[in-house]
Chains A and B, each alone.
Chain A
Amino acid sequence: MPQMSMIEAIRDAMDVKMGQDDDVVVYGEDVGYFGGVFRCTHGLQKKYGKHRVFDSPINESGIVGTAIGMGAYGLRPCIEIQFADYIYPAYDQIVSEAARLRYRSNKDFIAPLTIRTPCGGGIFGGQTHSQSPESLFTHVAGIKTVIPSNPYDAKGLLIAAIEDNDPVIFFEPKRLYNGPFDGHHDRPASNWSKHPLGDVPEGHYTVPIGKASVFSEGSDVTILTYGTMVYVAEAAKKETGIDAEIIDLRSLMPLDVDTIVESVSKTGRCMVLHEATQTSGFGAELAAQVQERCFYNLESPVVRVCGWDTPYPHAQEWDYFPGPGRVGKELKAMMEAE
């Protein structure tokens, strides 16, 4: 089976869909000739032509706004916002337009767009290249929000997103582009080729949107997480010896509540872990879901481990980042709680 990095898997997903469907177009800042600042679209312009893969002006509301128009025409745009930190100028187009078009027009028009955008920190990107704004989108009715944690899921979810007739925000944890990252920034980085999830089948397959996966089974505590934090959770599990069940949510909206409930009902404890700031973050929704559905199974309060409620700092990145040390400490405290 081919070995791919997440970048290659994402590129392969677009390649597969562009090869199958002439209505798929790909564009964004630096996406065309150059192939994207993270190289996710490298070679696609050469293969499919400038009319299907092209550079856009530095104009995020224009990138999304034109994609909505193209979707209304009948195309299936897969667009890139260079960093999730740059998505805010397009927020009105996403929230007030793409998300509501099907509903407000009673299916007369739809917005079948995929908005790919690299998110998360761990690359010394400072506040404008590190944010995780997923909860700003999960709060909006009418859009789907997904975030893969490995090359296999990235390709399958991206193909599913492009084929989806609703707008999908596709977050790409940029720290995972080239390999899994356990949060120990001072240790050598590993590569996807050494990881089983770097095995990516050729051709077309999908990973369904709305289904979580059990990344690592366990019986002591459930960790609900996604993206980069999946590997941080795994590192904390190993380092503490606490038998955590790690759920990789993959899809935040729709959310796979059944998998969450099943796991928490089994373990009786739940940690919510994400890199985004804590207050009103997606973890608040997860904690509420667990409280509503698993209260009588809980042996200790639901704990949130998240980014601090500060802007994403530059030099203090590893103090901000909820690494395995912090996760492990909270896990131990949870297990001691009566």
Chain B
Amino acid sequence: MSEYKPLKFHVPEPTGRPGDEPDFSGVIIPEAGSVRRPSIDTHAADMKELASTMVRVLNKDGEAVGPWAEGLDDDILVQGLKNMIRVRAYDERMMTLQRQGKTSFYMKCTGEEAIAVGFRAAMQKGDMNFPTYRQQGLLLSTDYPVVDMICQILSNSRDPLKGRQLPIMYSSKEHGFFSISGNLGTQFIQAVGWAMASAIKGDTKIAAGWIGDGSTAETDFHAALVNASVYKPPVVLNIVNNQWAISSFRGIAGGDHATFAERALGYDFPALRVDGNDFLAVYAASKWAVERARRGFGPTLIEWVTYRVAPHSTSDDPSQYRPKEESSAWPLGDPILRLKNHLIKRDLWSEERQTQTEAQYNDEIRAATKEAESYGVMGSGASPKDMFDDVYEEMPPHLREQRQKLGV
């Protein structure tokens, strides 16, 4: 008889499924201000614990504490709050558009607004993001015309992408926003390549890659980390760990016990693990990593710990796979509320201004939506002729022939 017992196959399970009480007891949350802030030239080996803990600035009372709280510009905090309110107003309005049947698809970033908005505040003009579909805050923090964003979602006659892309897959080189692919993980390595080019040319621009916790399982995640490790280009690699990849919890990406940030350590570059719902921590960590990259000290991996309050997309129903109350039980709270409370405490903001700002952005987005709808909804106004252009720089004969067959 064999001395070995039959092997068992392991499939990780989240702490809660529909009908269960939410359980975040496994999420270890250090006290705000308890994590040190190394200098930007620190070697990965000398700051390993920052990949395992969590950088937090705002404490329970809404005060900014600890070394990461230093040197944060008040104007940027106030502007950050406004931008987050704008993102949320935009998300709600676009969701309504989808429900009205005016677009086929939308994806909200509710609860994750601080990450894109805070990171964008640390970048400079000329830097380049390689975003996923949940970083609308990067674009909404700039002066990119919101009407054009909505026209893209409506695939109408003013759609800057001529109806060729799924709604929300924006592109704006001028605003440092690389064309979104929708193929997960692919853009992470492209960000590394862009940063390599900046270093090859002796430029001072930096790139930022974006990926979700689920997509860290893609081979391109490894491609990005190994190339970042080898060439040490000026890139910040952002993992938005919002706990859920459609219906698969982070454990299905191998992130149940080890942190995602710790993966950088094997590649010999530093990682930060950050409270992604704490705007001050987001902005401070972003500044640190962006400055490190721009000063030539190489890449940083950042794991933003957050929670996907929204469904994956308008085609998804989270009540089928996670506890109903899980998002309200998320222990890191709501990023807008937390920053608002902090700014009110410091007399930089007020409930009145909050209400006014919400109304202001609701009005802005409503007006922009109305204008965008005048160019058509749900693909109307997109020309079939545009389908054949730009496959190549010059249209080859076979495409010209096919276009003629379609009669456009």
Residues of A within 8 A of B (CB): 25, 51-52, 56-57, 59, 61-62, 65-70, 72-75, 89, 92-93, 96-97, 100-110, 141-142, 144, 164-166, 210, 253-255, 257
Contacts and interface: CB of A to CB of B under 8 A. Distances in A.
Interface stretch (B170-178, B239-247, B271-279): B170-178
Contact of A96 (B128, B164, B181): B181
Nearest to B165: A104
B179 A69 contact: no
Given A69-B130, A97-B186, A144 B392 contact: yes
B220 interface: yes
A53 B396 CA distance: 32
Given A62-B226, A93-B186, A109-B179, A142 B196 contact: no
A61 B165 contact: no
Given A106-B162, A254-B397, A66 B227 contact: yes
Interface string B134-178: 000000000000000000000000001110110001011100001
B198 A73 contact: yes
A75 B233 CA distance: 15
B398 A59 contact: no
B55 interface: no
Given A65-B189, A108-B173, A70 B392 contact: no
A69 B220 CA distance: 13
Contacts of B191: 69
B183 interface: yes
B393 A57 contact: no
B190 A102 contact: no
B195 interface: yes
A90 to B, nearest CB: 9
Nearest to B196: A66
Given A57-B230, A75-B200, A105-B179, 5 more contacts: A57-B227, A66-B193, A69-B189, A75-B197, A105-B171
Contacts of B160: 106, 108
A108 B186 contact: no
Which 8 A/B pairs are nearest by Cβ-Cβ distance? A69-B193, A66-B193, A65-B189, A73-B197, A62-B223, A105-B179, A69-B194, A254-B396
Contacts, number: 141
Contact of A62 (B183, B201, B227): B227
B194 A70 contact: yes
Contacts of A96: 181, 183, 186
A69 B128 CA distance: 10
B131 to A, nearest CB: 13
A97 B181 contact: yes
A142 B173 contact: no
Of the listed residues A62, A141, A257, the one surrounded by the most CB atoms of chain B closer than 10 A to its CB is A62
B171 A73 contact: no
A67 B189 CA distance: 9
Contacts of B226: 57, 59, 62
17 contacts: A65-B193, A65-B224, A65-B227, A68-B190, A72-B190, A72-B193, A75-B201, A97-B183, A97-B186, A102-B392, A102-B393, A104-B169, A104-B181, A106-B390, A144-B392, A166-B392, A255-B398
B219 interface: yes
Contact of A104 (B171, B194, B222): B171
B192 interface: yes
A66 B398 CA distance: 31
A102 B171 CA distance: 11
Of the listed residues A56, A108, A166, the one surrounded by the most CB atoms of chain B closer than 10 A to its CB is A108
B323 to A, nearest CB: 35
A73 B204 CA distance: 13
Contact of B186 (A65, A70, A257): A65
Nearest to B162: A106
B164 A65 contact: no
Interface of B: 128, 130, 160-162, 164-165, 169, 171-173, 178-179, 181, 183, 186, 189-201, 207, 219-220, 222-224, 226-227, 230, 390-393, 396-398
B397 A92 contact: no
Contacts of A75: 197, 200-201
B197 A65 contact: no
A70 B48 CA distance: 30
Contacts of A107: 390
Contacts of B201: 73, 75
A183 B173 CA distance: 50
Nearest to B387: A103
A258 B392 CA distance: 20
Given A69-B197, A104-B164, A104-B165, A210 B179 contact: no
B328 to A, nearest CB: 37
Given A62-B226, A97-B183, A210-B396, A73 B194 contact: yes
A110 B179 CA distance: 10
Contacts of A92: 183, 186, 220
B195 A69 contact: yes
B219 A61 contact: yes
Contact of A142 (B186, B392, B398): B392
Contacts of A253: 396
Of the listed residues A75, A92, A104, the one surrounded by the most CB atoms of chain B closer than 10 A to its CB is A104
A207 B192 CA distance: 33
Nearest to A75: B197
A125 B397 CA distance: 37
Nearest to B222: A59
A67 B196 CA distance: 9
Contacts of A257: 397-398
A72 B223 CA distance: 18
Contacts of A66: 189-190, 192-193, 196, 227
Contact of A103 (B128, B164, B230): B164
B393 A166 contact: yes
Nearest to B386: A106
A108 B92 CA distance: 28
B126 to A, nearest CB: 11
Contacts of A164: 393
A311 B320 CA distance: 45
B390 A72 contact: no
Contacts of B161: 104-106
A257 B402 CA distance: 14
Given A57-B230, A69-B189, A25 B200 contact: yes
